[in-house]
Chain A
Amino acid sequence: MHLDPFALHRPTSVDETVRLAGSLAGRFDYLAGGTDLLPNYKMHLNLRPNLIALEDVGELRGHGAGRFGAMERLAELDDDPAIRAEYPVLADAVGEVATPLVRASGTVGGNLLVETRCFFFNQSYFWRESLGFCLKADGDRCHVVPQKEKCYATFSGDLAPALMALDAEVEVAGPAGRSRRPLEALYDAAGDGIRRVHLAPGELLVAVHVPAASRGLHGRYKKLRVRPSYDFPELGVAVAGRWDGDRVASLRLAVGGVEPHPRRFDALTEPLVGSALSDDRLRALADEVMRQLRPVHNTFLLPDYRKRMIGVYVRRAVDEARRGSAS
């Protein structure tokens, strides 16, 4: 397998990047960490003739005071003890991404926008050709749920659920200037494994902002996978909250690794605020999240097992966050 040639662009400012992105609309990919994109390119998955490398855009770097630059390397967060102290759920999630070597290249923005994954998609050109291509690359049908409309590829980033649990916003630059939106609005909940994010042509993810109110929230990110490193999530559950004695003062929950986009479950967690979270209510919460999510057979572990684990992982993540709060 080899990389086909592409034109590499290296802008040095956000404005230059936005202009470049506008002029290359539809014919480029951003190169953030490259740890997922370049293997995909070697497999000839949706090649574009241009790559816009973002590493020289200074404004995209750095983290502090609740701001996380889109090009901040995950290793920078891994190495910062303040992250563990202030945002334990994020520290958990960063530490669970792939391996230290991948985290040395991988970035915050790259992880938030990481390509969705599927056993039928993340394969070589030879493999895909031998079966017949799929909706997501070069073909017109889905092999997971046989039909021709919807792609079931799975969102496989670890940071998004954690940042959703922290109520984060994303800062986007575009032809019309800067704007902010809730992180969950970055993802297209009505879309699928192909139409997965709301970013207009020429728009660029600049940074993630975590509100001050989320600093110090107790939290936990729990990731299901076959091996304790390398593997993408087969399920990722993020919880952040505050407890006032037994009483829930705030609680947010988000889940990734199951459907084409990560999901936040405010409608289930908000009613729990203000009262004690009994074992029964916690179990009911976990069961309801499990009921609402539908894994399909497109990863290593079987979908019925992944579904069952949603219940266990939600319950444990909340419980461990709560115990972290008590300690």
Chain B
Amino acid sequence: MNATAPPPSARLLGGRIPYVEGPLKVTGRAEYTDDIQRPGMLVGRVLRAPWPHARLVALDVSRARALPGVYAVLTGEKYPTPFGVLPITHDETAIAVGKSRYIGDIIAAVAAQDERTAEAALALIRAEVEPLPEYSDPRMGVQPVAEPIHARGLNGSNIQKEVLQHFGDVDAAFAGAAHTARVRGTFAGVTHAFTEPLVTIAESTPDGRLTVWSATQVPHYLHRALAEVLGIPMHRIRVVKPEVGGGFGGKSDPLPHEIVCAALAIETGRPVKVLFDREDVFYTNHGRHPTQNDVKIALDRDGNIVAYDIEALIDGGAWSSFGTVTTYYNGVLSMGPYRVPNFRYKGRRVYTTKPPSGAMRAHGGTNLRYSIELALDILAEETGVDPFDLRLRNALPPNSVTVNQFRITSTSFRECLEAVRAKSGWAEKFRRLPYGRGIGLGCGFYISGSNSPIHFTPKMPQSTVHLKVDMDGGIAVHSMQADIGQGSNTLLAAIVAEVVGVDLERVHVQRVDSDVSPIDLGSYSSRVTFMMGNAAKAAAESLLVPLLEAAAQLLGTTPDRVAVGHERYYRRDAPEQGVTFLEALHGAMETRGALTASGNYRSPSMGGSFKGARAGTAPAYSFAAYVAELAVDVETGEYKVEKIWAAFDCGRALNRLAVEGQIQGSIHMGLGQVMGESMNYRGARLFNPSLLEYKIPMPQQMPDVEILLVGKDDPEGPFGAKEAGEGPLIATLPAVGNALYDAIGVRFTELPITPDRVLRGLDLRAKEGRPWKGH
């Protein structure tokens, strides 16, 4: 593909487009899963294991079954087929079979006439169990253990996945290095905390079909998992995705409750709803992995990065989920935004008896990046070079290939650095602010759509979009892309409207429904704008062909001489001669009736041929450079991030309103992980499964954010666009970490950086007698 300039009539793309579903959402009219009512609907509830790890010897459900108002009680044996988001690591079951693996694991389910009856039934279930060893720390699982959490653990250990990669000669590079730095980071687990809790409704009907409405980011993978576990062919299952109130990765796995809900519907013949409360959502988790990493970076005499040597120990929790991808990403996402000629990585993800971790916004990219950017800050200081200059010297150039064969096409990383350096007043502030005030730089790099789909059979495009327009002039758009609040419906509508040249209000994006929506792989890996956007553009261009033909006929010319205007097609050589969109449409319909069109996107083949070469390959990458300025109360350890300058390269921002919202939201989420959010475990027990004790930052903690969109058009992105949904999170963390060092001279390598840790850091610095800015 070649660089694509927007059509000359560009009216929407590049501007600020309010969400098409906005009026419905703000007035409460938008339909979420919990809003759906079905006749005779039952309430489904799950029984959770209170033990960290236990063999299930016997479950007596007879009293629960006998309770009036109870329609079904399910245990694991009925649907024992394992599933999981990755085909290579199917280790989850809808309900525990044989043993339970964490406090909160589902061991039985009931469907009853109402909530109270369902809970009363759960209380009547008696379990006979044999306690098994608790493995709450991944370090306990790297050697063979008495009772592996899963039989598939590596050599009798709890290691779920081990990755070893080596490119170039890291030992030689370190031996010849002029400077080296090492950061050992410790990161608490964090979770998505999306607004809408997990909820599913399922209904099995006498026509032999099963319909499932679910709050999901990836309807297609849910569709596959339902078919596999329930043993029903996919064409008899219909998956519907209503509006979704946020996901951030937490609704991207097919989840056990979705299958449980469908199973209960089949069992009872009645519609069943499973609505989780917040504590259930915390136990379902699939959030960012608790991680320990060890990052070593070597520089040569001139300040060029010569090698990275990285290790990561990743706490997986009880299931695999996306974990194999996580294990790769915690290494390979270090391959930008800098040139790294030698690279070694050892990553291990270890099962623990805790709620499963999985994919969360900027999956695999944040913890690694925090340690790298701190190490670069250390190296800049040691070599007496400004942190910006060190990064500029090492920036990956456009159209290059990394040592592990990532294909880098567009990058405006250099422009990001230059813009944020100038805007933040860096030169006057860095190391010059008074004690307690600091400024710090952090950078980011992320995939714009995973190049490799999770499933390879059958071979098909990653995104397909269908359009239909009838004589009313409204354009119906079908696609399984999943709007979860990030604005993809709006983008889809805007692309179609832009290409066809009509008002946005003519374009109606249909609810995702597997019966009618062509497959798009869903909202994960920051793939939607790039992949669905290209598919939508192709579909709209195809729809335009008969419209331009009809217009040409009406105007007495040929289609190539007809231009697209606003609700109008006109002769290029005589712009005053034109026809309206409806005139062209009705002309085109004379011989064929309603018009339909289809477009799709398939990413180009890329990546090396070594094991794991596909991990981290993407048709494009986003880049970021952020500066944070903050003030520390050195007596209490409390600090306030006052300002963040966020320079981001998402190529061309197609909807600036949505892009800015994503950047602000990402900064908020990133600040959460830095400042206070943590899955607070004592042993295997989660102590804060509530939004009161899980410390998401409050609005008062948000800094002033200045967004600098400096990206140049990507050659393959739709209209030059790349992702802006996940990459903007990453740079937030190290910008704050490095600003804290500038403020008080302490390197914080354990997240979250809570006030007590700040004081501990200050105490330690005082004890070591290292003055900072005269204090």
Interface residues, chain A, CB within 8 Å of chain B?
1-2, 4, 119, 123-124, 126-127, 129-131, 224, 226-231, 300-302, 304-305, 308-309, 312
Contact = CB atoms under 8 A, between A and B. Distances in A.
5 contacts: A1-B277, A126-B279, A127-B689, A300-B688, A301-B755
A321 B277 CA distance: 44
Contact of A2 (B48, B115, B680): B115
B153 interface: no
Interface residues of B, number: 29
Given A124-B279, A129-B50, A301-B755, 15 more contacts: A1-B279, A119-B687, A123-B689, A124-B689, A126-B50, A127-B689, A130-B50, A130-B51, A131-B685, A228-B701, A229-B698, A300-B680, A300-B688, A300-B693, A312-B636
Contacts of A130: 50-51, 103, 685
A54 to B, nearest CB: 25
B756 interface: yes
Interface string B115-147: 110010000000000000000000000000000
B542 interface: no
Contacts of B755: 226, 301, 305
Contacts of B48: 126
B695 A300 contact: yes
B545 interface: no
Nearest to B51: A130
Contacts of B701: 227-228
User: Dominant SS at the A interface?
Assistant: loop
Contacts of A300: 680, 688, 693, 695
Contacts of A129: 50
Nearest to A124: B279
Contacts of B636: 224, 309, 312
B427 interface: no
B17 interface: no
B57 interface: no
In the A-B complex, the 3 residue pairs with the closest CB atoms = A130-B50, A305-B756, A228-B700
Interface of B: 48, 50-51, 103, 115-116, 119, 277, 279, 635-637, 676, 680, 685, 687-689, 692-693, 695, 697-698, 700-701, 754-756, 759
A48 B415 CA distance: 64
A129 B688 CA distance: 16
B27 to A, nearest CB: 20
Contacts of B754: 226, 301
Contacts of A126: 48, 50, 279
A32 B279 CA distance: 26
A226 B676 contact: yes
Contacts of B693: 119, 300
Nearest to A311: B635
A231 B689 contact: no
B759 A305 contact: yes
Contacts of B277: 1
A247 to B, nearest CB: 27
A234 to B, nearest CB: 10
B279 A226 contact: no
A174 to B, nearest CB: 34
A267 B549 CA distance: 94
A302 B680 CA distance: 12
Given A227-B695, A228-B701, A302 B50 contact: no
Contacts of B680: 300
B284 to A, nearest CB: 14
Interface centre among A124, A126, A224, A304 (most CB of B within 10 A): A126
A127 B698 CA distance: 26
Contact of B119 (A2, A119, A230): A2
B735 to A, nearest CB: 21
Nearest to A224: B636
Contact of A227 (B51, B119, B637, B676): B676
B20 to A, nearest CB: 30
A124 B279 CA distance: 8
A131 B683 CA distance: 12
A276 B693 CA distance: 42
Contacts of A301: 754-756
A253 B51 CA distance: 46
A309 B115 CA distance: 45
Nearest to B696: A227
